[in-house]
Amino acid sequence: MTAPVTSESTRCPECGTEIAPAFLACPSCKRLVHGAELKRLAEAAESATAAGNLTGALASWREVLHLLPPDSRQYDTITTKVAELSRQVDAGGAPVIPKEKPAWAAKWGVLGGVALLFWKFKFVLGFLLTKGKLLLLGLTKGSTFFSMALSLGVYWRLFGWKFAVGVIVSIYIHEMGHVAMLTRFGIHATAPMFIPGFGAMIRSRYYPKDVVADARVGLAGPMWGLATAVVAYLVYLLTDIPAWGAIAEVGAWINLFNLLPVWQLDGAHGYRALNRQQRWLATAVIAAMWYWTAEGLLVLLLIGSAAVAWFGTPAERPDRRTLLEYALLIVALSLLTTIPVPVGALR
């Protein structure tokens, strides 16, 4: 809190001290500069919580943190509240009470069963429409669209248009998986920015400090990427068009590479929620799949995983879901990298 006083400085209404624009509290009396906005955000968060909108509440409380001095008591209180809400969001929010079969479904017999199927399908359809809307939203951003077009041109020139389109879509969906999970935790993130030859990246003002939430966000990208590779592989099986097999294989390889538990790769975020025993179990899964598939990339993952399991700082509490997700990704993506794609499939 040592920003120089400029012509844009204001005076504290409590003690009259000049306050630089970057200050969050008066240096003399400690009065919060953004008191009115903090009150509004707190009311919005409480209203969202009362309505069962935990994601909206998280988003408001995170904005509150941005306006509070990090060394204040209020900041610690809100940080604890954010952590608790994040755990509730990760657990699925409020418990859902199973609904009994509607009376009309039993009354109408077979027709009622068919109607019940469509009645339940509306929730699946709603889910698909929500995710579809999120995917399309990213394409409306100028930075995403133009950087995507630039990367498409580079890959097209090198490998042909079929491979180029497939890889770009795979990378885009992978990154939007991160965006979707960040949004679920009340964190706004930008749409992907493509970097030719290096993939893509997203930016956000905040990032989950809780290791479990961090793992959820980290592994969401490979999970969405796995779904994309599986769809491409199914289309390949149905159509026998080699390009689809190549897209599935390369997409699987890219997502498998991201599971390296080092640096800022997705695997590193996942490993932060694993204790030492779980890390060795993940290492064993990698070793088993390397033995089964002979995929060379798994050797690199095996070395990285063993190093982190041996030397890294483990999580205080184990998280079974993270281990299961990571193991599933290793197994499924490793198998997809063994797809026998005919020569010339890329063009």
* In the chain, where the domains are located: 10-90, 141-336
- Phi and psi angles of residue 171, each rounded to the nearest 5 degrees, phi first: -65, -40
346 pLDDT higher than 90: no
pTM over 0.85: no
Task: Determine which of 37-46, 169-178, 240-249, 312-321 has the lowest per-residue pLDDT on average.
Answer: 37-46
CATH 1.20.120, domain 10-90, yes or no: no
pLDDT of residue 109: 47
Q: Identify the band that residue 42 occupies on the pLDDT scale cut at 50, 70 and 90.
A: confident
What would the DSSP string read from start to end of 236-305?
Answer: HHHH--HHHHHHHHHHHHHHHHTT--STTSHHHHHHTT--HHHHHHHHHHHHHHHHHH--THHHHHHHHH
What would the DSSP string read from start to end of 90-111?
Answer: HTTSSPPPPPPPPHHHHHTHHH
Q: Which DSSP symbol is given to 25?
A: B
pLDDT of residue 110: 42
- Taking the CB of residue 131, how many other CB atoms lie within 10 A of it? 15
* 200 three-state secondary structure: strand
| 134-145 pLDDT per residue, tens | 566 655 566 677
- Long-range contacts (CB closer than 8 Å, 24 or more residues apart) made by 324-328: 325/219, 325/223, 325/270, 326/219, 326/259, 326/267, 326/270, 326/271, 326/274, 326/282, 326/285, 327/281, 327/282, 327/285
Query: What is the rounded distance in angstroms from the CA atom of residue 320 to the CA atom of residue 283?
Result: 15
Which of 180-184, 190-194, 216-220 is predicted most confidently?
216-220
What would the DSSP string read from start to end of 125-182?
Answer: HHHHHHHHHHHHHHHTSHHHHHHHHHHHHHHHHHH-HHHHHHHHHHHHHHHHHHHHHH
The two most distant CA atoms of the chain are separated, in Å, by: 77
Q: Which two tokens stand for residue 97?
A: 């009470």
Mean pLDDT along residues 86-90: 81
What would the DSSP string read from start to end of 33-67?
Answer: TTHHHHHHHHHHHHHHHHTT-HHHHHHHHHHHHHT
107 pLDDT higher than 80: no
Query: What is the rounded distance in angstroms from the CA atom of residue 223 to the CA atom of residue 178?
Result: 10
Share of the chain above pLDDT 70, in %: 80
Query: What is the rounded distance in angstroms from the CA atom of residue 259 to the CA atom of residue 301?
Result: 8
- Which residue from 244, 111, 225 is spatially nearest to 171, judged by alpha carbons? 225
| 176-190 pLDDT per residue, tens | 899 989 888 888 888
- Identity at 139, one-letter amino acid code: L
Mean pLDDT along residues 114-126: 45
- Phi and psi angles of residue 25, each rounded to the nearest 5 degrees, phi first: -150, 150
CB 299 within 8 A of CB 318: no
Q: How far is CA 174 from CA 77, 162, 229, 245, in A?
A: 34, 18, 10, 18
Rounded to the nearest integer, the mean pLDDT of the chain is 80
∠ CA 282-201-236, nearest 5°, is 65
